[in-house]
Structure 1
Amino acid sequence: MFFARTRSPATLAAAAAAAFSTLTAAQTWTDCNPLTTTCEPNTALGMAIDVDFANGAVDTFIEAGSPTYGRDGASFTVAASGQAPQLMSLFYIMFGRVEITLKAAPGAGIVSSLVLQSDTLDEIDFEWLGADPHEVQTNYFGKGQVTSYNRGQFHKMDKNNQDEFLTYVFDWTKDRTEFYVDGTLVRTLTPADADDNQYPQSPMQVRFGAWSGGDPANAPGTIAWAKGPTDFAQGPFSMVVRDLKVIDYSTGKQYKYTDNSGSWQSIEAVGGTVNANEGNADQVAVTATAAAETGGPAPTVPPGGIGTDEATAQQTGWPWDAADRPNGGSVPEGWRITEEGKLRAIGAGASLRPHVLLLALSFFAGVVAVVRR
């Protein structure tokens, strides 16, 4: 499958720098909002990938902070104020299933997160609070509207989510979003359940990592929601992700907004079809149905549930200099995504490794920026 480059290097560098600039900005940030203007298309996954992080980093994810890799998978460690290691996909999915197997990070105020977020600020979340190893939160937002922050639900768990690798699933379609915890269906969200016109329905990136909601630098409401404050002297605190499976229920090279409505009907799958893969996806194995949820979050909880690391962001596995910022979200022309989530050249014609190509593009973007000053 061919994946075209959709954004210029200068635009992507600026977007990435903005995305990782402050702790709270990333939770409501988008470099171009299709609700208000015409934006360039999103790079489509258009297939299924299965990433085993025990095999190391994969170059289809942007890295912020300093995730590390070992035999158990990818570790996201918070050891000091302002740290929030995370990964963000280069690709987008237009409806689909995301399955992650992880151990949540322990520690009062420490938050482990899995977030799907679109350029229109549609959002679907799992959050695990380190203060309670027997609970998980589900959440959603539509078009960046938070109203009274009334969308969150807490779900009790029999197993300890910090001691055991457990699997969590979003199964997201135009008709409903299902949240699964270790084979148990804990929540179903439909357009009728969601607040008016706020059902998530636009192309999403995949983001996950750990941060300190209980950081004393945060707002009091956020600290309270995260069951902080965080005592960093008790750390470090690590979230460990063993593997990630992503199925894009649509096909094509890009996802293009054809108007400013943000509706799924307005999304064009360039070179493919929206929902073309939905019927071919394996069904999620359901072993139980959970009891009713327990309450909701404090009213000042920000959307996103994932912070931003103060350290330089970089392309996973690619040798970016500390002064650089990552390419912000597209697959280079002439490269494809493999089923393992890695980039490979298409045919013999593409002889450069992707990091060499993108470093050259980054250098060119820097030269252009200097010339324009």
Structure 2
Amino acid sequence: MRLALGTAVSILCSAVLVNAQTYTNCNPLQKSCPADTALGKTGQNYDFTAGSSVQFAASGAVTYDKTNGAAFTVSKKGDGPLIQSGWYIMFGRVEFTIKAAPGTGIVSSAVLQSDDLDEIDWEWLGGDNTQVQTNYFGKGITSSYNRGAFHANSGNHDNFHTYSVDWTSSQIVWAIDGQTVRVLTPATADSNQYPQTPMMVKVGVWAGGDPDNAKGTIDWAGGVTDYSKGPFTMYLKSMTVTDYSTGISYSYGDHSGSWESIISNGGKVNGNSGLEPTVAQPAPVITATVDSVPIPWSGTHRETSSFVTPDVWPWVATGSPTGYPGRLPPGWQSGSGHIQPPSSGSAIFLPMYISLLGLIVGFTFPCWA
């Protein structure tokens, strides 16, 4: 629902946003958190043409077939199916064999994300069958929109390609079908932005072009989604994962968010070292997105000074509760710094939008997603 500026903004952002700021299951930068289950293994293959895996939790309607594997479909407003790993890796390699979804405004995503909101991303736009975008974040900070880069990827809606992320303390390498397209090092990353904490894996699809989204998000996604032209389906045939560390779980030794502070319980950080590449292929010149394009974080990411990304990023809310200005809908809970849906694992999220930056930059901007 969209709320006018003024009293409604003040009420919503004081009564709801304070808790939304810490909406992650537990942010280790702010307090002590439970340990994350570690994958701790090498060469783990997940063949989704054989069906679902108990190591991934599904949200929304995810189906499986013997030809294409896992199918993530947007058929109507609010659809945003995804799967999320039940384990984390502490540095490692992930290979996704994916066919992206077509459709204006449809966004297919494959994301590595940590509890303190480090991220490494692949994103495909349904209106662009020729390119894929890579991106990264550290600690959920989005002070600029110049980290995304586009890479040639012809036919990403028509055919399966293998997209990999190879992540170490010294470099992140993005590759398509074995060909390096981007390399990031701590020295070339924005200050304090190099991803370096234990990551889970999320794959799914969502409508960035939903008419209720922020204008910046719709523009980035390529335009307004026309659901009558759907359904729009992304496919994940397989995934291969290697954890470059060993152990049964990963803990944060302090609140710094540095990789040196991570503790491997029952193992060793970089305990599988020697498996990672030492030198990446030369990468082509990266064309970063310009600052004037608020991709897509005007709708999903937030400044840490006032926002923290919800745990369901990058998939937007699936419903739009109405009639509850300044308070949570029935059944929602606010406690321990978290805003929680009516039941655990629910696919219903709270998309309250406000025209907060309209006075400053002239477009509507969701208070949180």
Q: Shared fold by TM > 0.5? A: yes
For 1:199, the equivalent position in structure 2 comes to: 194
1:36 paired residue number: 30
**SS of corresponding position for 2:200:** strand
| CA–CA separation in structure 1 for the residues paired with 2:176 and 2:278 | 11
Q: Does structure 1 residue 171 correspond to structure 2 residue 190?
A: no
- 1:88 aligned onto 2:93: no
1:292 and 2:285 are equivalent in the alignment: yes
Give the alignment partner of residue 116 of structure 1, picking from 91, 112, 117. Answer: 112
**Distance apart, 1:295 and its partner CA:** 3.6
Is the 1:183–1:285 Cα contact (8 Å) retained in structure 2? no
What secondary structure, in the 3-state scheme, does the structure 2 residue paired with 1:222 have?
Answer: helix
Residue pairs, 1:25-174, within 5 angstroms: 29-48=23-42, 49-71=44-66, 72-157=68-153, 159-174=154-169
Q: Are the equivalent residues in 2 in contact too, given 1:65–1:309 (CA < 8 A)? A: no
Letter paired with 2:314 = I
> Take 1:213 and 1:81, find their aligned partners in 2: how far apart are those partners?
11
Structure 1 position 310 matched with structure 2 position 314:
no
Pick closer, same or farther for the CA change 1:276–1:27 going to 2, 3 Å: farther
| 8 A Cα contact 2:246 2:271, kept in partner | yes
Q: 1:174–1:201: 8 Å Cα contact kept in structure 2?
A: yes
Aligned pair partner of 1:277 in 247, 257, 272: 272
Alpha carbons of structure 1 residues 29 and 130: separation in structure 2 relative to 1, 3 Å? farther
Confirm whether residue 261 of structure 1 aligns to residue 256 of structure 2: yes
Q: Deviating runs (4+, > 4 A) in structure 1?
A: 25-29, 283-286
| Contact 2:132–2:151 under 8 Å retained in 1 | yes
Shift of 1:27: 12
- CA drift at 1:300: 4.7
- The residue type equivalent to 1:137 in the other structure is Q
Q: SS state of the match for residue 264, structure 2?
A: strand
Secondary structure (helix, strand or coil) at the match of 2:274 reads: helix
Deviation at 1:115, TM superposition (A): 0.6
Q: CA deviation at 1:285?
A: 12
Separation in 1, partners of 2:116, 2:55: 22
SS in structure 1 at match of 2:116: coil
Structure 1, unpaired ranges of 5+: 1-24, 312-322, 328-373
Identity %: 51
Structure 2, unaligned runs of 5 or more: 1-18, 302-308, 320-341, 347-369
Question: Which residue is equivalent to 2:228?
Answer: 233
Alignment CA distance shift 1:88-1:235 (3 Å): same
Structure 1 match to 2:6: none
Whichever residue aligns with residue 211 of structure 2, its letter is: P
SS in structure 1 opposite 2:180?
strand
Contact 1:28 1:121 in 2 (8 A): no
- State the Cα RMSD in Å: 2.4
Q: Show CA shifts across 1:260-313 (max 9, x none).
A: 0000000000000000113135x5998x755323341622521487214638xx
Contact 2:95 2:239 in 1 (8 A): yes
d(CA) in 2 for partners of 1:291 and 1:192?
A: 18
- Contact 1:77/1:210 (8 A) holds in 2: yes
Q: Specify which of 201, 207, 210 is matched with residue 205 of structure 2.
A: 210
What are the superposed Cα offsets for residues 208-261 of structure 1, whole Å, 9 maximum, x if unpaired? 100010110100000000001111111000000000011110000110111000
Q: Is the 8 A contact 1:65 1:310 kept in 2?
A: no
**Matched-pair contact (CA < 8 Å) for 1:65–1:86:** yes
Larger helix percent: 1
Task: Give the conservation status (yes or no) of the 8 Å contact 2:146–2:288.
Answer: no
Task: Specify whether residues 181 and 148 from structure 1 end up closer, same or farther in structure 2 by C-alpha distance, changes over 3 A only.
Answer: same
Aligned-partner residue type, residue 203 of structure 1: P
Asked if 2 retains the 8 angstrom alpha-carbon contact of 1:50 and 1:244, the reply is yes
Aligned length: 289
Q: Check conservation: 1:116, 1:206, Cα contact below 8 A.
A: yes
Give the 3-state SS of the residue equivalent to 2:228 in structure 1.
helix
Secondary structure of the equivalent of 2:268?
A: coil
Determine if the alignment matches structure 1 residue 325 to structure 2 residue 344. Answer: yes
C-alpha change, 1:191 and 1:42, in structure 2 (3 Å) is: same
| Letter of the structure 1 residue corresponding to residue 80 of structure 2 | A
Matched position secondary structure for 1:54: helix
SS at match of 2:29: coil
CA distance in 2, matches of 1:242, 1:284: 28
